[in-house]
Structure 1
């Protein structure tokens, strides 16, 4: 694409980027304003200086370090376990061609369409009966199953197109199914698995509803739950609310920026394949 059309597309992308970044900039500016400055100048004014007391007060008041660690442990565990489970399921469905493969994939597809509200009641009582209520392990198990359902459905379609000649050559050389999976399928599918890992981490990090139900104590809550619960408190002024939103966004954004090249490479390789 050359000429005016190229510049029009570039201009549209710049405008879209500004629109998406603008709310984050507003939150960041208000997070470093004092309450008096916010009241006198409004939310759209530039800060006159760096007022970090709101961030410090919020961090100490909600024990944000504990919430951050809980979110990190849950998100990292879910992303890794969900990818491993998705690979094992998809290897059996996409390459192994087990009996009833179509109906199993339909079951995974239906599981992805179920609203979480419909799962809250049975999962709550299952966690109570198993003695896992108000533990991070309960959220890890539930979220791993939910994310793995999507990962299995996606990877089954990808591995269904996997070249059979490679696997047959490995079988002739004496490689079993597990060795073929670990030495051939996983390395070749690594870009797709990397994309799934990143998305699973971000989706789990931003999850609010199920952690709100399962994690009720202050020592087990995640960052989104802590932010959601505290937004309605009267002692949260505008600058402290902005500080809480900024602290909740920054870790996910940092993770995305760190693995942005991996994500781009995985999407590009998948498109070329």
Structure 2
């Protein structure tokens, strides 16, 4: 991380800490909300991730330190997360409030076991949001909860996949693939198992034109490569099996993943062989 980024992030942490302290003292969140909206970087290609991280990190710290503050902060984060698409459509600066709220929910769930289950339920609900940035926040939250509460989170993700709903499946795939699978072989095996289940549902799907299905397909176009990179032996064998299927969406997903640098540069011969199999 460069010096400028570190300086900016530290400044955000100090500002958020000041705003959250004021909120906890007064119960009024107007100044905090104004700060988040003003610095959201929206409209624009990406929300202000440094500010969102500062918000989540500070919420986590305060929630871990004081049980009474934890409940107040939980209520705040849920309120922010529930800012609706009608009130804050995509690219509206107020959309950032939902982004931060989702991140804050995961932060509290990561440090307080009493909130883990309800945090995961809130993330599943948020995964259905039509705004892609809010769904991105869900994937970030899943990653955080996997690191802090792996058993509970994996069990919940299994349920998201079994639900058959495209967007929760997308959140499960994006969240677990964003984790450090290389350093966690057991988690990598879970990620492969979830991707297998998801791709069975893709292969057997009859409805493929919805925005939700296309969002899942797009995510699978990069998440599978991360799983294969973590488990190259069984991962590439799985890709070879998929390549035998006469299914346009499955084959598109394979091609997209074979283009990812993590596979193409490290395993060029294997990638070329599977490409030839697809042809």
Select the structure of larger CA radius of gyration.
1
TM-score band w.r.t. shorter chain: under 0.3
Greater length-normalized contact order (CA 8 Å, ≥ 6 residues apart): 1
Taking structure 2 as the reference length, the TM-score comes to 0.26
